[in-house]
Amino acid sequence: MKSGDRGLGRLLVVEDDERLRDALRLALRDEGYVVETAADADSGFERLSGDSPDLVLIDVVLPGRSGLELCRQIRQAHQVPIIIITARDDSHDVVAGLESGADDYVTKPFVFKELSARIRALLRRTRMGTGGVDRLVFGELEVVPDEGRVTISGEDVPLTRTEFLLLCELAQEHRRVLSRDRLLTNVWGYTYFGDGRVVDAHIRRLRTKIEPDPSDPKFITTVRGLGYKFDPPIEENTS
């Protein structure tokens, strides 16, 4: 990637299938992106460390270390949005990938138009501000939308961009039940496709970071058959 040249965005594609890798590179470049590729997890992480992509596409099945391991490694050091590529109807890979830190997924064989739409939606939402109030305080939990910060008892809570946006969406609509479809639309930017498992996996990850006991959540509750509700035990303060 040339320094300073971002096009519509800089993408890193980690895919071991040479034909698919080349096809993705050409198609995404035609869309206006600057695209770098890698054929395995180690070279993918090296390229990520050397460049600053706006989004990473990772195939789950890679030679050597898996795409899931790469996803976890990236999440330890980077907040870059990640889309994983999985086999058709492999529910285990989908859930495992989302739990490993991916923001979204596509399944093979996929239609490029759908992949392109998912990339655009994720990049658009990542670059947008959250708007709304300056800060929300719920006891020891504080959310500062304009600064992209969440703290508990004054200590910063490390969230991915998608986790942060999801928390903001829930917190700013606290005590209201938000359906999975609404969360997919408002957080992921999907208007005609999406999978509730994406929301469920991110809720689980978010709970592990903000709940005193994730198995007995006090902030983010599940309303069976309807969706999720941010229902803090202490009324919020805004400023």
pLDDT at residue 2 is higher than 90? no
Residues 6+ apart with CB under 8 A from 43: none
Q: How far apart are CA 70 and CA 53, in angstroms?
A: 15
- pTM score: 0.78
The reply to whether omega before 109 is within 30° of 0 (cis) is yes
Q: Which fold has domain 10-127?
A: Rossmann fold (3.40.50)
Q: What percent of the chain has pLDDT over 90?
A: 53
The domain made up of 136-238 has a fold known as Arc Repressor Mutant, subunit A (1.10.10)
Containing 98, the helix (H) or strand (E) segment is helix 91-99
> Which of residues 235 and 159 earns the better pLDDT score?
159
Band the pLDDT of 121: cuts 50, 70, 90. Answer: confident
Whether residue 139 is predicted with pLDDT greater than 90 in this model: the reply is: no
Tell me whether residue 238 is exposed, middle or buried, using C-beta atoms within 10 angstroms of its C-beta: 0 to 12, 13 to 18, 19 or more.
exposed
| Pick from 58, 71, 176: nearest CA to 115 | 58
Q: Where do the domains of the chain lie?
A: 10-127, 136-238
**Mean pLDDT, residues 188-212 taken together:** 84
At 213 the pLDDT is 92
Instruction: Give the span between the Cα atoms of 141 and 207, in whole angstroms.
Output: 13
Average of per-residue pLDDT values in the chain = 86
pLDDT bucket at 186, cuts 50 / 70 / 90: confident
Minimum mean pLDDT range among 34-38, 103-107, 194-198, 210-214: 194-198
State mean pLDDT over 155-168.
91
d(CA 213, CA 90): 30
Residue pair 27/50 in contact by the 8 Å Cβ criterion: no
